[in-house]
Amino acid sequence: MHDYVYHDRKMMKWLPFNALLEQGDYINDLLRGRERIERPVLSPDQQDELNYTLETAFLFGHEVCVSYYDNHRIKSATGTIGRTDLYNKLIYIGEQAIAAMQITAIEIL
């Protein structure tokens, strides 16, 4: 029995468990898909109200909380509007640039 040499099968012994990993990735993708939301569609009246609130906050230097759509989620930024870029349609809150078309709500604090 001392002459026996063990030959390891290396990764071959773990191949049956690879299917479980792929199933885990699939389940994670499904769960992430549940968290995704579609971009809200704003009516023209809501857009006019957002525009008015934006102009008021920018002119008087009010602190605002801006909710915006980014990468299938609604995010928010708080601060004063430092500047606007009319050519690229961007609003700057501190160093953060937010596209005007992604804004869903503006609240003056």
The tens place of each residue's pLDDT in the chain, 109 residues long, gives: 567 776 666 655 655 655 666 666 776 776 677 677 888 888 999 999 999 999 999 899 899 999 999 888 889 999 998 888 889 989 999 888 999 889 999 998 8
The pLDDT assigned to 60 comes to 92
Q: 3-class DSSP state for residue 32?
A: helix
- The CATH class that applies to domain 44-108 reads mainly beta
Alpha-carbon gap, residue 94 to 67, rounded angstroms = 15
Alpha-carbon gap, residue 39 to 54, rounded angstroms = 20
The pLDDT assigned to 92 comes to 92
Alpha-carbon gap, residue 99 to 91, rounded angstroms = 6
The 8-class DSSP code of residue 13 comes to G
List pLDDT tens digits, range 46-71: 999 999 999 999 899 899 999 999 88
The pLDDT assigned to 29 comes to 72
The pLDDT assigned to 15 comes to 56
The pLDDT assigned to 71 comes to 85
